[in-house]
Amino acid sequence: MPDRHDQGAGDGADLAALGRRVSAARAAAEARGETFYPGASRVHLAAFPPRERWDDWVELSSRAWPAREEHHYMLVPTTCFNCESACGLLAYVDRDTRRVRKFEGNPEHPGSRGRNCAKGPATINQVTDPDRILYPMKRSGPRGGGSWERITWDEALDALAARIRAAITEGRQNEIMVHLGRPGEDGYTERVLAGWGVDGHNSHTNVCSSGGRAGFQFWMGIDRPSPDHANARVIYLISSHLETGHYFNPHAQRITEARANGAKVIVLDTRLSNTATHADYWLSPQPGSEAAINLAIASHLIRTGRYDREFVRRWWNWADYLTACHPGTPVTFEAFEQILAGLYAEFTFEFAAAESGIDAAVLAEVADVVAGAGSRFSCHSWRSAAAGNLGGWQVSRTLFLISALLGAVATEGGTFPNAWNKFVPRPIHTPPHPGVWQELSWPLEFPLAQNELSFLLPHFLKDGRGKLDTYFIRVYNPVWTNPDGLSWMEVLTDEQKVGCFAALTPTWNESAYFADYVLPMGHGSERHDTHSYEQYDGQWVGFRQPVLRAARQRLGETITDTRQVNPGEVWEENEFWTELSWRIDPDGSMGIRQYHESRARPGHKLTVDEYYGWMFENSVPGLPKRAAAEGLTPLEWMRRYGAFEISRGGGAWHEQEVPAGELGDPVITPTGRVYTDAPAAASPNIVPAGAPAPDPAGRRPAGVQVDGKILRGFPTPSGRLEFWSSTLASWGWPEHALPGYIRSHVHPSQLAPGQLVLLSTFRLPTQIHTRSANSKWLDELSHTNPVWIHPHDAGRLGIQQTGDLIRVETEIGYFVAKAWLTQGIRPGVVACSHHMGRWKLAGHAQVGSGGMMATADLRRDAGGWGLRITDRVGPHESADPDTARIWWSDTGVHQNLTFPVHPDPISGMHCWHQAVRVRPADPGDAHGDVSVDTAKARAVYRRWMAETRPAGSVSPDGTRRPSWLMRPLKPAAAAFQLPASGQAGDRG
């Protein structure tokens, strides 16, 4: 039996031969003047279905072969929901059965261009999943007891509305919280909560990308980079962006194009990821040393003068830096350059080599390659190192230092601020900012946190800082996803801390088992959302829609509620939130209902057709005209094609002159910031960005003066790129105001003898966080997570071979996994993928995924919690015959349970990397075992909290947080004021 590698080589040879035969056949057919593929649709199989045939696309049945049996499809676009890339999908809706047969790529989508990863087509598994939740459920016994009864949507809505109405009218707004995992849309939930007057938005971002975002935000006032990979000369990736990173498929295809054009790819990843295998330079650094490498490259650029002086002079806030930090020094660029030359002199290649373990000569060679990129240097860093380490936000801040030195900012082949390449259409209703501040999400200890301190919620509830009356999770599984999941379970099962817990979810999960209500929501082809993401130098809007609703409307039916087309009583959130809001405020007296009312028919509920119809008609430039050209309304056009490109090649927005009409009578500060009383021009684009504060006279920032012209600049306090962050300097962290290097909590100097570093932040490209368990193709592709360990370490630790059981011991417990001996990991470091180790409790064994969720026994004794797998997955009968063919039983281990919380004191990011001990398992250990002492987790939490600098002691202006920093749901200005009593950090 050949191994997989041999099979792959054979397949490649076969494909090559097939390609030659196809080419020969095409040539012969064309020579005869015939259409090459005389199939049912008269289009070559390798081509996308042309859009003019989407109403009746014909394919032959593969099962009927050799008979030519035709299938007639209506092709309906939607947007994939299985990662944040928002690729276009085309649903193949059978015209006879009105059922979706498959999903393929949407060639009309400008971001994904018809291509998808494995997770896109696997949407069909989610739709047909035999274990999915089809009806609203309410627990019928004790919370977490495993007894459920089916209820109606009316019962659920009325119960939730009554609780929320009481909380709001009694002034308990902060007892309402909606906690999001995959957002999958641009701002809808935030607006619902703003309409309720509640600061209740919570996200998963501080266990995901806050570290990466914070470093970019301090520079640009915008928290996401938008690399123009396709046109780059050098692509510099920290972690595996080609394979699984942010905007994975849209970026991967553009990186591939660039490589074909000769671009060099540099990958920093301690693990040999699939991306690293495609790199020209793979650097496997000691975890946490990435910023030191970036700084050594930056130092090289400065030392050798290979930086873009003109760009630095025009766009860095060096004058602010000199004024604040070098009083007495002339505020000239030449003086700044002299200081700059010394600032990074210590970051030699030898220093970076000592920190990273990578040879200095290799680093020097890479630095030369980077220097040669000029302004065609594209880069990205998102999770990975920025999410793993104390001070990880400096990884992206030092990465952007390289871009900013090269002048590779918003250039062809460079890296843009995402706001230049993203378009968020203004909606029909925009509620005001809520007047309250949620300290459970935005605690005073973290005034500069990039996002909500979501993963600390159990500890804050245990501290008695507040309680929750009504807590929603939405495509989110905090018990499984977060570190310290058993502390989550402890508070979610405590009705004094969480009064009512509602899970909005398409699938059962480890958290939903402890809910009071489980409410079924649709997958990517069963719900509405709009999207726009930065994937190249252009702006587009994508439309997710319930494809059967669109198909049946195209056939002339009237659909008024998405439940009419979804399986069972599966709903979508937009209609759910509207209905819930009406029931909270049935007569409109609370001021809530107005944000869910029709404009066309006052006094009636806003429908999704009107919501999106208004948006596409009024807020997407160019779309009405384009639609009219085809005799369609903008909504009809989007329902038919799924995505619209608004602009392409916008270039350097910051260099645009501000029109005189927007400036009025401007006031210009000595360092060039421009303020005005004139009203800002209304824009249909409401893409999130920093919102710099007005000047003391209340004038709004309107631009920045550069070489005598007033340009749009960046949404930072200075209007320029903030090499020196006045925000970090004035909010208690002056020592980190410049791009720099913070030694990680897993720096070798912090490890006890014998400890290794565990990387847990990577994922496999075929997994979808908590929803992949309900996708059988993906389950078959990857279903376990062995611990990567270098043979040198394995030999030293007495681990004999791949498959041996090992114990990995963290600060609060241990997990038992299988070892995978590989040279694809740096010695001294081990790695274990997340997404695996899914479980369901024995009492809940009838619900969950039969293919990926093992049955577990969870017990607590004096030593803490213990989880043991009692029944592994295997073949079983269900509505899907494929479940009888499940050939695997190993579904990995849930490592995150054993991680304590590590909040970075500045960004608030959970620092995922763990210092661990690894040893052969004990004789009684079993694969998947987890042991955790949540009392120890409390101690670790307190230790990290002690490192914070609370707003009460560092705020320069009596507010909780700099108002210009981004916040998904921003309260009204008054709510930013520190509480009168309040010194922060004196609680808990």
Residues of this chain that interact with ligand SF4 (CB under 6 A) are 80, 82-83, 85-87, 112, 116-117, 119-120, 248-249
How far lies 256's CA from each of 91, 262, 383, 598, in Å?
27, 10, 21, 46
CA angle 884, 885, 889 (to 5 degrees): 100
123 or 725: CB nearest ligand SF4: 123
- Is residue 815 within 8 Å of 868, Cβ to Cβ? no
How far lies 264's CA from each of 84, 233, 247, 408, 575, in Å?
26, 6, 20, 16, 47
CB of 86 to ligand SF4, least distance (A): 6
200: amino acid identity, one letter: G
CB of 79 to ligand SF4, least distance (A): 7
Q: Which residues contact 651 (CB under 8 A, 6 or more apart)?
A: 410, 537
CB of 430 to ligand SF4, least distance (A): 28
Q: Which residues contact 688 (CB under 8 A, 6 or more apart)?
A: 187, 223, 419, 424, 966, 968
CB of 667 to ligand SF4, least distance (A): 46
CB of 822 to ligand SF4, least distance (A): 26
| Burial of 496 from C-beta contacts in 10 A (0-12 / 13-18 / 19+) | exposed
82 or 209: CB nearest ligand SF4: 82
Taking the C-alpha atoms of residue 925 and residue 13, their distance in angstroms, rounded to an integer, is 45
How far lies 449's CA from each of 206, 376, 665, 861, in Å?
9, 32, 36, 36
| Burial of 887 from C-beta contacts in 10 A (0-12 / 13-18 / 19+) | exposed
199 or 529: CB nearest ligand SF4: 529
DSSP code string of 942-983: HHHHTT---HHHH-SSSBSS-TTS--SSPPPGGGGBPPTT--
250 or 672: CB nearest ligand SF4: 250
**For 648-671, b where at least 16 C-beta lie within 10 A, e where not — what string?**
eeeebbbeeebeeebbeebeebeb
283: amino acid identity, one letter: L
248 or 349: CB nearest ligand SF4: 248
CB of 90 to ligand SF4, least distance (A): 12
Q: How many C-beta atoms surround the C-beta of residue 961 within 10 A? A: 22
Structure letter (DSSP) for residue 221: S
248 or 318: CB nearest ligand SF4: 248
Secondary structure tally for the chain: helices H, strands E: 29, 34
| Burial of 313 from C-beta contacts in 10 A (0-12 / 13-18 / 19+) | middle
CB of 835 to ligand SF4, least distance (A): 13
676 or 767: CB nearest ligand SF4: 767
119 or 397: CB nearest ligand SF4: 119
CA angle 448, 450, 454 (to 5 degrees): 110
80 or 638: CB nearest ligand SF4: 80
Interaxial angle between packed helices 188-196 and 573-584, expressed in degrees from 0 to 180 and rounded to the nearest 10: 0
- Is residue 562 within 8 Å of 608, Cβ to Cβ? yes
Question: Is residue 665 helix, strand or coil?
Answer: coil
Taking the C-alpha atoms of residue 259 and residue 674, their distance in angstroms, rounded to an integer, is 42
CB of 527 to ligand SF4, least distance (A): 15
CB of 111 to ligand SF4, least distance (A): 9
CB of 406 to ligand SF4, least distance (A): 29
CB of 373 to ligand SF4, least distance (A): 26
CB of 201 to ligand SF4, least distance (A): 23
CB of 122 to ligand SF4, least distance (A): 8
Structure tokens at 364: 């020097």
254 or 840: CB nearest ligand SF4: 254
CB of 836 to ligand SF4, least distance (A): 17
423 or 517: CB nearest ligand SF4: 423
524 or 903: CB nearest ligand SF4: 524
609 or 780: CB nearest ligand SF4: 780
CB of 864 to ligand SF4, least distance (A): 37
CB of 775 to ligand SF4, least distance (A): 10
79 or 505: CB nearest ligand SF4: 79
Length of the chain: 988
249 or 727: CB nearest ligand SF4: 249
Q: Which residues contact 136 (CB under 8 A, 6 or more apart)?
A: 150, 151, 152, 153, 155, 156, 517, 518, 519, 520, 569
491: amino acid identity, one letter: V
765 or 968: CB nearest ligand SF4: 765
619 or 775: CB nearest ligand SF4: 775
Q: Are strands 498-505 and 517-520 parallel, antiparallel or unpaired?
A: parallel
- Is residue 471 within 8 Å of 501, Cβ to Cβ? yes
- Is residue 160 within 8 Å of 584, Cβ to Cβ? no
E strands, 146-258, where? 148-150, 176-180, 201-202, 225-227, 234-238
CB of 232 to ligand SF4, least distance (A): 20
